[in-house]
């Protein structure tokens, strides 16, 4: 399988997944479109070890003018978008899809529902790209709700806590290893980069009340642990669909 180019990104928008070239701001192709937009929108996503893109959805809580509306319900779906264009629904009835991550040995997949305050751990089958036997992994943690996550090279999950002002590092057996305090409340996602992949890049969101000076900022945390490289989505070779 040909390696995807470094200058093309898969971007998950409110209703679509597109391939985008940042240097020219060109939308190269549309890869996926939600049929239930604008009632439902896309949320967290990530490529798997086999080159497919997994993305979850949720009830749309953003109005057309950009203001916030009420989230809720169980409209979310977990999709797998394969390089050949096939789309598979792996889970339905989700409140807010968040956390899409894999263990370094490719044996496990992590997926969460922010509204239910839970992250599940599934068996992942790289031969078929499917998941099975999901069990609660991080449930009812008292600080905030689970947003995005990344897994380091030792197999520990780093879960960002929306409303909890922290990131929690969880061991493969589900025990809490440590809590990283953050200077804002809404911690949204993270990934590893930098020299030796020992910088944790963390995104945050603005809270309506109270106002926080650093909210919405991108943070870089130098850590002792080493992260995994991100997987790549192989759909760039497909013909344009529009």
Distances (CA, A) of 150 to 1, 131, 161: 25, 18, 12
Residues of the chain with pLDDT under 70: 1-4, 236-242
Beta bridge partners of 204: 187
Instruction: Tell which residue, 185, 176, 181, 188, has the closest CA to residue 221.
Output: 181
Cα separation, 126 vs 140, whole angstroms:
30
According to the model, what pLDDT value does residue 2 have? 59
One of 44, 75, 113, 147 is an active-site residue; which one?
147
According to the model, what pLDDT value does residue 128 have? 94
- Residue spans of the domains in the chain: they are 9-234
According to the model, what pLDDT value does residue 34 have? 95
According to the model, what pLDDT value does residue 63 have? 85
| pLDDT tens, residue by residue, 192-221 | 999 999 999 999 999 877 889 999 999 999
Sheet strand arrangement including 118-125 = 97-102, 108-113, 118-125, 130-139
Q: For residues 231 and 51, is the Cβ–Cβ distance under 8 A? A: yes
According to the model, what pLDDT value does residue 155 have? 98
According to the model, what pLDDT value does residue 203 have? 98
What residues have CB less than 8 Å from 232, skipping those under 6 apart? 3, 4, 47, 51
Q: Confirm whether 113 is a catalytic residue.
A: no
> Would you say domain 9-234 falls under CATH 3.40.50.2000?
no
Stated pTM of the model: 0.94
According to the model, what pLDDT value does residue 240 have? 42
According to the model, what pLDDT value does residue 134 have? 97
């Amino acid at each position: 399988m040909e390696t995807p180019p470094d200058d093309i990104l898969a971007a998950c928008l409110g209703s679509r997944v597109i391939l985008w070239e940042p240097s020219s701001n060109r939308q190269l192709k549309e890869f996926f479109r939600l049929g239930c937009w604008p009632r439902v929108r896309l949320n967290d996503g990530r490529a798997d070890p086999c080159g497919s893109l997994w993305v979850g959805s949720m009830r749309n809580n953003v109005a057309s003018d950009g203001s916030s509306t009420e989230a809720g319900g169980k409209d979310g779906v977990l999709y797998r978008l394969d390089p050949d264009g096939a789309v598979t629904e792996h889970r339905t009835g989700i409140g807010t899809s968040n956390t899409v991550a894999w263990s370094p040995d490719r044996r496990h997949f992590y997926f969460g529902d922010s509204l239910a305050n839970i992250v599940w751990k599934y068996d992942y089958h790289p031969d078929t790209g499917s998941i099975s036997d999901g069990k609660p992994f991080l449930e009812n943690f008292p600080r905030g709700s689970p947003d995005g996550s990344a897994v380091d090279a030792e197999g520990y999950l780093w879960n960002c806590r929306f409303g909890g002002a922290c990131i929690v590092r969880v061991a493969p057996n589900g025990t809490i290893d440590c809590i990283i305090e953050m200077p804002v409340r809404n911690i949204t996602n993270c990934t590893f980069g930098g020299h030796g992949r020992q910088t944790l890049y963390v995104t945050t969101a603005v809270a309506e009340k109270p106002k926080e000076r650093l909210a919405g900022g991108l943070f870089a945390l130098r850590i002792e642990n080493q992260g995994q490289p991100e997987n790549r989505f192989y759909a760039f070779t497909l013909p344009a669909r529009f």
